[in-house]
Amino acid sequence: MEAILNVWNSFMTLPERVPFLVYVYLIVGFVLLIKGADWFVDGASAVAKLLKIPSVVIGLTIVAMGTSAPEAAVSITAGLSGSNEIAISNVIGSNIFNLLMVIGVCAAIKAFATDMEILKRDMPVNIGATLLLLLFILDGKLSRVEAGIFLVALIVYLVFVVRAALKNRKTQIEVVEESEKEEKKKKLTIPIIILCIIGGLIAIVWGGDLVVDNAQRIALSFGMSPMLVGLTIVAMGTSLPELVTSIVASRKGESGLALGNAIGSSIFNILFILGISAVLSPIAPTGSGVIESITDTAILAVVSVLMLIFAATGKKVSRVEGIIYVVLYAAYMAFAILRCYVF
């Protein structure tokens, strides 16, 4: 009880004065994220129809990589500057946010069927990547060789995704041709598609940067530790593009893109972002950061397995399951805060 009171008192302590513009920039960042995600989903969906490939593939590749740009920028910069705790906690925290909050909020708003390709291929890949990270981080560091394995695994994964897309191309062409007449009036021209994707991506990355930078300044003014900031503010901030993009996609009926974006981003975060970060500068958390990194990666592995089990049940993600995901994320946040302040 005393520990909980200490945490409460630390949050209730008035922070150092933060310039008013910091809050303005934070709001501007959210606006850019929302509009950027809207444009990006429209452009990505148009690309899927134009290339006659399933939107889920676009979600697992273009959208997943695009919305992971903030995580990449933060983790690579943090790794190069020696901020190893932020580099790895950002990825782990972002993945937990993707799986529990992104998918949870989308399902809570509107239940959606589980894409069987994601269930059979991408979710197991996500579990495998997480377990591989757990294995590599057990010795307290992520070496260049281990990072190289991540990058090779990513290339192999993308090859399988593209091959699967080519196999399904014929079926998708038939589906698109049937709805082509209805979609004709709404069809975007190529220049508009390019503008939506590039403009949306710029807005997402810029908005993500504004949100992360200014939210971090506000959080640090409350005395939060760098490790806690990495797991919470930075992780949630850099994952806002995935959250907003998936919500927009889900409300537009693109549930395959919404689910594919969250799972694809999680895979991309581990294999590419940690891979590139550690290749440039090996990641080696210090002190309590080692145990915390191992613990959080183990939690991520459990969440990944739980996600697969829930998605396989009834072949859909229900609203009840979505609410459970959100509650689990709130519990994890409480654990992370108590751990940092109490221990």
Digit-coded pLDDT (tens) for 187-209? 678 888 889 888 988 887 788 77
- Domains of the chain (ranges plus CATH)? 2-10+18-342 (1.20.1420.30)
What band does 303 get if pLDDT is binned at 50, 70 and 90? very high
Residue in the structure block whose two tokens are 């309590």: 288
What band does 179 get if pLDDT is binned at 50, 70 and 90? very low
- Whether 106 shows a pLDDT value over 90: the answer reads no
Report, as an integer, the average pLDDT of 145-152: 94
What distance in Å separates the CA atoms of residue 111 and residue 114, rounded to the nearest whole number?
A: 10
Q: What is the DSSP letter of 281?
A: S
What distance in Å separates the CA atoms of residue 77 and residue 68, rounded to the nearest whole number?
A: 14
- Whether 24 shows a pLDDT value over 50: the answer reads yes
Model pLDDT for residues 27-83, shown as the tens digit of each residue: 888 788 778 877 877 887 787 777 766 655 665 566 666 666 677 767 776 666 666
- Whether 279 shows a pLDDT value over 50: the answer reads yes
What band does 88 get if pLDDT is binned at 50, 70 and 90? confident
What is residue 201's predicted lDDT score, i.e. its pLDDT? Answer: 82
What is residue 124's predicted lDDT score, i.e. its pLDDT? Answer: 95
What band does 147 get if pLDDT is binned at 50, 70 and 90? very high
What is residue 295's predicted lDDT score, i.e. its pLDDT? Answer: 92
Mean pLDDT score of the chain, rounded to an integer?
A: 78
Q: Which residue has the higher pLDDT, 152 or 319?
A: 152
User: How would you classify residue 114: left for phi > 0, otherwise alpha for psi between -120 and 50, otherwise beta?
Assistant: beta
Q: Which residue has the higher pLDDT, 196 or 221?
A: 196
What is residue 300's predicted lDDT score, i.e. its pLDDT? Answer: 95
**Residue whose C-alpha is closest to residue 94's, from 112, 109, 75:** 75
Task: Say whether 194 sits in a helix, a strand or coil.
Answer: helix
Residue in the structure block whose two tokens are 């609410």: 323
What band does 102 get if pLDDT is binned at 50, 70 and 90? confident
Report, as an integer, the average pLDDT of 126-134: 96
What distance in Å separates the CA atoms of residue 5 and residue 165, rounded to the nearest whole number?
A: 54
